[in-house]
Amino acid sequence: MNAIPKRHVVHLIARHAESTLWLARYVERIENLARILDVTNTFARDADDTRNWLSVPRINGDLEEFNKRHEVATQRSVGSFYLLDTTNTTSVQSFIIAARENARMLRALISTEMWLQLNVFYGWIRALDAEHTSPEHFTATCNMLKDGAQLHTGITEGTFYRDQAWHFYMIGRYLERADQTTRLLDTRFHSLVPQPEVGDGIDAGQWNALLRAAAGYHAYRREHPDGYNPQEVACFLLANRAFPRSVGLNLGRIERHLSQLRTTYGLRGMSGALERLDQLTGTMTYQNVTELASRDLSPFLDYVQREIGALHQDIVETFAG
Amino acid sequence: MPVGAASQSQIQSLLQPHGTMQGYDPGAYFCEMLRPGQPTHPTLTLLMSRLAALPIASLRQRAADAETDLLERGITFTVYSDATAIDRILPFDLIPRVITPAEWRQIETGVTQRVRALNMFLQDVYHERKILKDKIVPAELVLKNAGYCEAMVGFKVPFDTYVHVCGTDIVRDETGEFRVLEDNARTPSGVAYVVENRHMSLRVMSDLMTGLRVRSVDEYGLRLHNAMAEIAPTTVSDPQVVVLSPGIFNSAYFEHVFLAREMGVPLVEGRDLTVEGGKVWMRTTAGLAAVHTIYRRISDDFLDPDAFNPESTLGVAGLIEAWRKGAVAIANAVGTGVADDKAIYAYMPRIIRYYLSEEPILKNVDTRICGEADALAYTLDHLAELVVKPVAESGGYGLLIGPHASKQELENFRVLLKADPSNYISQPTLKLSVSPTLCDEGVRPRHVDLRPFAVTGKDTWVLPGGLTRVALKAGTLVVNSSQGGGSKDTWVLA
């Protein structure tokens, strides 16, 4: 049963558990943000350019901060806000600084290859300048950011020793993915659902953009070749258990890692977190999501976001408090 | 053997076939590569011919690769200014410093002897004080020393080992004689660079190293862990060792990471530890877990706010009390600073003779204790050639560098010295040995020192290697990283 021979007990410092969680979350945030920027850039093609770029600070809950710094939302201003601005806590600059700082704390624990790549990635991001946000380089910059984050993910998969720290790392990654997908859906879904009284039909381009921002476009097409249906998109992003970034799949993964921490490492006190997780997972069914999406998904998505935040808190307080 | 006119031609003949080292001339300094007057070693000869065959452009390319590599790997120390944090590397010079087996035997036995004497001295100072009663070392020099720790009086440490990790700074004079410059007996740093520099050599100079029998430095973590386990409370069968660091903002943080990783133990900060029920615990995901040995990289003052500096947030309240009760081991012990002090240094040869009835295997830099009549007379006669240092606690203040002083300064100092001779020691100005180093103008001689690392639990083990620091600026003797110093891989030949 035991994957790790128990010659002696290897403890994990509580503070390090929290750091691994954050390391995973910050790198995941870089990937998500880069994808959203790229999709916004590529699909912001209608006449009202402003509206589309503003959607990025909206998804990230940054409207207020963004408006303080910029008058209009353009590729330049949004690019600068998210790619260059170290005073913006949700920029890739802030994310990589935080990721590297957590990695530094964990440096004796993570693989040297993880550290090396993250350190180089850090150097590259820190050197980004206005040139990188220009129209000629914007897509390439976003792609490099995604590549760097995905390289981290791959190196982690291949080199990070799978004891306690790895489980916490994976929980962090899945919490972040669940959170990001929920956020994305929350800000875009409502505006995309055709209003019966207006009756202008489905805007396929916008649904494409939403799914691309979640890295789910092709998978969705495969599952639903006949077109878009708001309930089906909601189900795909929330309840589908094959889509890597669906909330349901990620909650399931968190549950698995928490259980392993309990059974393999004898960690106690997680019943609160597991119960919360269990309830939340229970809502991620096709039936439930279809029903909610046909009325108003917003209150539900707010609830999901709150619960994901609370889950993170539960875990931190239980093990790292 | 001093480098006279005869051996100059010997050096030139050695240099001729070596293209890469064209224009290299160590002058009057002892060269660690050419080593005039010393028996040749086949590995050294082979290394020199390989180096010579290497075009200088290739050396430069490798040096550039090494620099990038160090930065990317984050083998750096962080320099903080107002708003920025800059990661700096310790510059790496890729031409190794070589130590022959015979030289190493002297260093190894000499360092071991010195560590033994330091530990016996500390044991004595904190217990019977025989050496003070016998007036070998003046009592006030010890008891009023800033490194002296009252809390250590009467406290027995396992194996009477106080200095578990010692980094002895050794230089080589113009005759090729090794001399100890300083005993670092508190929390000496640099061992991570010993190992990382070797890894770097293996990466960028692998063709040069092929077949050369260089002793491995890979054992350090294992040896250190074993020593840390030896000193743990004897009631524990599988002791938990931790490395205690001030945290990521400490400039030596990389080394703390290295030590934890190489020993396979948690890297903790003060906030991760707590003292409860007289024992020391670390906060883990599974609750409190017992800690048995702390290899601390925090200085005495900050270790325990209850015992020392109450303002310290880096330490652990109650730690010293738990230590004194035998619940935990701390390495190095508190209060070792009294043994590696500048003032005590002058007495080290006598301390060695006193406890071991042996002659020091490694000499001190000739140091005269001006409180003694002969020494004072010599110092006054040779003032213009000597460095004279006050030994009072406020070290550094009132230093005279004879060769750089004006006539008036010399006369003024003469008055000071005569008024309070026992406050001064004098030393000749050092002519540190040099090692071929890649510089802008080619391969040139640069001054080096050596810091071997000795690990002591029950017994002492010396890592076969060491940190060779090199003064990269021409003419300067200062090897410190803060002042343009770099480092080299140190090859102890098998």
* Interatomic CA distance for residues B219 and B201, integer angstroms: 17
For residue B458, list its beta bridge partners: none
* Interatomic CA distance for residues B435 and B177, integer angstroms: 15
The three-class DSSP label of residue B443 is strand
Chain B neighbors of A165, CB-CB under 8 A:
none
> Among partner residues B72, B248, B271, which is closest to A116 by beta-carbon distance?
B72
Element (H, E) at B287: strand B287-290
* Residue in B254, B285, B291, B295 to test binding to A, most A beta-carbons within 10 Å: B285
pLDDT, position B474: 85
Q: Tokens 């120390």 identify what position?
A: B77
pLDDT, position B389: 85
Tens digit of pLDDT for each residue in B26-79? 999 999 999 888 888 899 989 988 988 888 999 999 999 999 999 999 888 777
Tell me whether residues B285 and A265 touch, CB distance under 8 A.
yes
Task: Determine the average pLDDT of the residues in B439-464.
Answer: 96
pLDDT, position A51: 59
* Interatomic CA distance for residues A293 and A234, integer angstroms: 7
Going by C-alpha positions, the residue among A176, A165, A179 that lies closest to residue A19 is: A165
Cβ neighbours, 10 Å, residue B199: 15
Asked if residue B474 lies in contact with residue B444, where contact means CB atoms within 8 angstroms, the answer is yes
Tell me whether residues B74 and A115 touch, CB distance under 8 A.
yes
**Residue B230 clears pLDDT 80, i.e. is over it:** yes
* Interatomic CA distance for residues A10 and B441, integer angstroms: 52
Tell me whether residues A101 and B248 touch, CB distance under 8 A.
yes
pLDDT, position B3: 41
Chain A neighbors of B255, CB-CB under 8 A:
none
Going by C-alpha positions, the residue among B294, B269, B291 that lies closest to residue B282 is: B291
Chain B contact for A105 (CB, 8 A cutoff): yes
Task: Determine the average pLDDT of the residues in B365-377.
Answer: 91
Considering only alpha carbons, which residue of chain A is nearest residue B290? A11
Chain B contact for A260 (CB, 8 A cutoff): no
Tens digit of pLDDT for each residue in A50-59? 558 888 998 8
Task: Determine the average pLDDT of the residues in B222-245.
Answer: 96
Q: Which of A222-226, B36-40, B297-301, B407-411 has the lowest mean pLDDT?
A: B36-40
**Residue A247 clears pLDDT 70, i.e. is over it:** yes
Tell me whether residues A11 and B266 touch, CB distance under 8 A.
yes
* Interatomic CA distance for residues A279 and A257, integer angstroms: 17
**Residue B2 clears pLDDT 50, i.e. is over it:** no
Q: How confident is the model at residue B20 (pLDDT cuts 50, 70, 90)?
A: confident
* Interatomic CA distance for residues A151 and A158, integer angstroms: 11
**Residue A202 clears pLDDT 90, i.e. is over it:** no
Kindly give the residue spans of alpha helices, DSSP state H, lying in B282-360: 300-303, 319-324, 342-345, 348-356
Q: Is B227 exposed, middle or buried (0-12, 13-18, 19+ CB in 10 A)?
A: buried
Considering only alpha carbons, which residue of chain A is nearest residue B281? A13
Asked if residue B382 lies in contact with residue B396, where contact means CB atoms within 8 angstroms, the answer is no
- Which parts of B305-381 are beta strand (E)? 329-331, 363-364, 368-369
**Residue B17 clears pLDDT 60, i.e. is over it:** no
Tens digit of pLDDT for each residue in A188-199? 887 777 665 544
Query: Terminus-to-terminus CA distance in chain A, angstroms?
Result: 30
> Among partner residues A11, A15, A108, which is closest to B289 by beta-carbon distance?
A11
Of residues B113 and A200, more confidently modeled = B113
Tens digit of pLDDT for each residue in B207-228? 999 999 999 999 999 999 999 9
pLDDT, position A201: 56
Cβ neighbours, 10 Å, residue B38: 16
Contacts of A280 (CB under 8 A, 6+ apart): A251, A304, A307, A308, A311
**Residue A111 clears pLDDT 90, i.e. is over it:** yes
Q: What is the mean pLDDT of chain A?
A: 92
* Interatomic CA distance for residues A318 and B19, integer angstroms: 66
pLDDT, position B40: 83
Task: Determine the average pLDDT of the residues in B124-132.
Answer: 98
* Interatomic CA distance for residues B488 and B93, integer angstroms: 5
Chain A contact for B237 (CB, 8 A cutoff): no
Count of residues for chain A? Answer: 321
Residue A221 distance to chain B (closest CA, Å): 41
Q: How confident is the model at residue B87 (pLDDT cuts 50, 70, 90)?
A: confident
* Interatomic CA distance for residues B488 and B57, integer angstroms: 19
What is the number of CB-based contacts under 8 A between chain A and chain B? 71
Tell me whether residues B283 and A267 touch, CB distance under 8 A.
no
**Residue B398 clears pLDDT 50, i.e. is over it:** yes
- Taken in order A277, A279, A280, A282, is the CA torsion positive or negative? positive
Q: Which of A280-284, B22-26, B479-483 has the lowest mean pLDDT?
A: B479-483
pLDDT, position B58: 93
Chain A contact for B289 (CB, 8 A cutoff): yes
Tens digit of pLDDT for each residue in B465-481? 999 999 998 877 777 76
Going by C-alpha positions, the residue among A17, A15, A44 that lies closest to residue A212 is: A44
Give, as one character, the DSSP assignment of residue B240. P
Angle made by CA atoms A27, A32, A37, in degrees to the nearest 5: 125
Asked if residue A176 lies in contact with residue A24, where contact means CB atoms within 8 angstroms, the answer is yes
Chain B neighbors of A104, CB-CB under 8 A:
74, 248, 253
- Residue B41 C-beta-side C-alpha neighbours within 13 Å: 21
Asked if residue B107 lies in contact with residue B170, where contact means CB atoms within 8 angstroms, the answer is yes
Q: Is the bond preceding A102 in cis, omega lying within 30 degrees of 0?
A: no
DSSP string spanning A89-148?
TTSHHHHHHHHHHHHHHTTTTS-HHHHHHHHHHHHHHHT--GGGGSTTTHHHHHHHHHHH
Q: Which amino acid is at B206?
A: S
Considering only alpha carbons, which residue of chain A is nearest residue B253? A104
pLDDT, position A192: 75
Q: Which of B253-257, B332-336, B397-401 has the lowest mean pLDDT?
A: B397-401
Asked if residue A270 lies in contact with residue A312, where contact means CB atoms within 8 angstroms, the answer is no
Tell me whether residues B73 and A8 touch, CB distance under 8 A.
no
Tell me whether residues A120 and B72 touch, CB distance under 8 A.
yes
* Residue in B86, B257, B284, B294 to test binding to A, most A beta-carbons within 10 Å: B284
Task: Determine the average pLDDT of the residues in A135-147.
Answer: 96
Chain B neighbors of A11, CB-CB under 8 A:
240, 266, 282, 284-286, 289
Chain B contact for A265 (CB, 8 A cutoff): yes
Chain A neighbors of B289, CB-CB under 8 A:
9, 11
Chain B contact for A107 (CB, 8 A cutoff): yes
Q: Is A44 exposed, middle or buried (0-12, 13-18, 19+ CB in 10 A)?
A: buried
For chain A, how big is the Rg over CA atoms in Å? Answer: 20
pLDDT, position B309: 87
- Please report, for residues A19, A52, A235, B395, B431, the alpha-carbon distance to residue B142 in angstroms, rounded to integers and kept in the order given: 45, 75, 77, 15, 30
Chain A contact for B203 (CB, 8 A cutoff): no
**Residue B98 clears pLDDT 80, i.e. is over it:** yes
Tell me whether residues A164 and B285 touch, CB distance under 8 A.
yes
Of residues A305 and B85, more confidently modeled = A305
Of residues B311 and A316, more confidently modeled = A316
Q: How confident is the model at residue B395 (pLDDT cuts 50, 70, 90)?
A: very low
Task: Determine the average pLDDT of the residues in B117-125.
Answer: 98
Q: Read off φ and ψ for residue B137, nearest 5 degrees.
A: -120, 130
* Interatomic CA distance for residues B74 and B192, integer angstroms: 12
Chain A contact for B238 (CB, 8 A cutoff): yes
Task: Determine the average pLDDT of the residues in A249-274.
Answer: 95
pLDDT, position A42: 86
Going by C-alpha positions, the residue among A207, A200, A186, A175 that lies closest to residue A61 is: A186
* Interatomic CA distance for residues A180 and A34, integer angstroms: 12
Going by C-alpha positions, the residue among B462, B458, B380, B373 that lies closest to residue B417 is: B380
Chain A contact for B85 (CB, 8 A cutoff): no
* Interatomic CA distance for residues B248 and B239, integer angstroms: 26
- Lay out the sheet containing B287-290: strands in order across: B273-276, B279-284, B287-290
pLDDT, position B49: 87
Tell me whether residues B285 and A15 touch, CB distance under 8 A.
no
Chain B neighbors of A115, CB-CB under 8 A:
73-74
Going by C-alpha positions, the residue among B355, B352, B275, B287 that lies closest to residue B320 is: B275
**Residue A269 clears pLDDT 80, i.e. is over it:** yes
- Please report, for residues A146, B187, B307, the alpha-carbon distance to residue B337 in angstroms, rounded to integers and kept in the order given: 52, 10, 17
Asked if residue A17 lies in contact with residue A164, where contact means CB atoms within 8 angstroms, the answer is yes
**Residue B6 clears pLDDT 50, i.e. is over it:** no
Q: Is the bond preceding B332 in cis, omega lying within 30 degrees of 0?
A: yes
Contacts of A122 (CB under 8 A, 6+ apart): A96, A97, A99, A100
How does B335-367 read in b/e, with b if 16+ C-beta sit within 10 Å?
bbbbbbbbbbbbbbbebbebbeeeebbbbbbeb
β-strand pairing of B165-172 with B453-456 = antiparallel
- Residue A46 C-beta-side C-alpha neighbours within 13 Å: 10
For residue B127, list its beta bridge partners: none
Give, as one character, the DSSP assignment of residue A320. I
The reported pTM is 0.93
Residue A305 distance to chain B (closest CA, Å): 26
> Among partner residues B73, B257, B284, which is closest to A13 by beta-carbon distance?
B284
Going by C-alpha positions, the residue among A79, A309, A74, A301 that lies closest to residue A187 is: A301
Residue B302 distance to chain A (closest CA, Å): 20
